[in-house]
Amino acid sequence: MKERILLTGKNGQLGRELQRSLAPLGELVAVDVEDFDLAEIDTVRSFVRTLRPRIIVNAAAYTAVDDAETEPALAMAINALAPGVFGEEAASIGAWVVHYSTDYVFDGTAERPYSETDTPNPLNVYAKSKRAGELALQASGAQHVILRTGWVLSSHAQNFAKTILRLAVEQTQLNVVVDQFGAPTSAQLVADMSAHLIRQEQTEGSEDFPFGLYHLVAAGETNWYEYARYIIAAARAEKVPLLLEPDDIQAVKSKDYLSPAVRPSNSRLSTDKFCSTFGLPLPHWQSEVDRVLQQIFMIQRGQA
């Protein structure tokens, strides 16, 4: 009998890739806000109690970083309260939870990649809600895996790469922040690694499975400015019609780029724990971006 897997956030960047990667692993029940609203906590409880999955994969999140500054209650409900409820309900039925968090839980002041043992210090409402979600799940009593990632991109939904490509068709000059560092990571990579972990638990059993908190991002590092230049150069190489050249992008400091929510300058995450625990090497961010850009270009040409 196939194990039942509940996947939330099926229509998001990560959720779409998880539908693909998790489908062979069990009876996949994929839902989104139109099926039930994570902000309605009682509905979340009753849904899990009725469905009784063995694994809950929570890819749903409130991700509008700037909007969270004026909608803190909604961000907290979805990002903090719901993961705790998933954990409580999972613990009561013997299920376990895979949950996704963010590099933004750190304040970015360190001069090295952050490890799982570093103390979080979130700077904005979104980050505080995601950190609260981690703590709520950890306190729930459920077995769980929390995967912190960042700078996620895919060929669908909105993300930095797609925004840059859109603006490059409309504008001849662009300002991009140069003093925030991280590693672009594809939703496909996160989904594939998640499926690997779930398959390992299914094969080996939960008794010896290394549940816990892990960082999962691509290898290497860059900043938003260099990332944007890389995107435009790749598009130019593929003869994508653009108004913008890489040299038309101007580097600006975070202090000169006003936004409602403060972002950390250092979003680099150490993946040593993940790689050593699961024996999985992680690809460089450039290969991640190349793969997703090729998918985007194919869609634009009507080949996918």
Distances, alpha carbon 35 to alpha carbons 20, 95, 178, 255, in Å? 19, 21, 40, 41
Dihedral over Cα of 286, 118, 261, 248: its sign: negative
Relative orientation angle of helices 160-170 and 285-300, to the nearest 10 degrees = 50
Q: At which residue do the structure tokens 């634009």 appear?
A: 300
- Name the active-site residue from 62, 104, 126, 227: 126
Q: For residues 32, 40, 102 and 10, what is the CA-based torsion angle, rounded to 10 degrees?
A: -10
Nearest residue to 116 (alpha-carbon basis) of 259, 217, 229, 231: 217
**267 neighbors 182 (Cβ within 8 angstroms):** yes
**197 neighbors 278 (Cβ within 8 angstroms):** yes
Residue 126 among the catalytic residues: yes
Across-strand partners of 29? Answer: 6
SS (H, E, C) 171-226: CCCEEEECCCEECCEEHHHHHHHHHHHHHHHHHHCCCCCCCEEEECCCECCEEHHH
Tokens at 1, concatenated: 């009998």
In whole angstroms, what is the distance from residue 80 CA to residue 84 CA? 7
Q: Give the Cβ contact number of residue 30 at 10 Å.
A: 20
- Cα 162 to the chain's mean position, in Å? 16
Residues acting as catalytic residues: 126
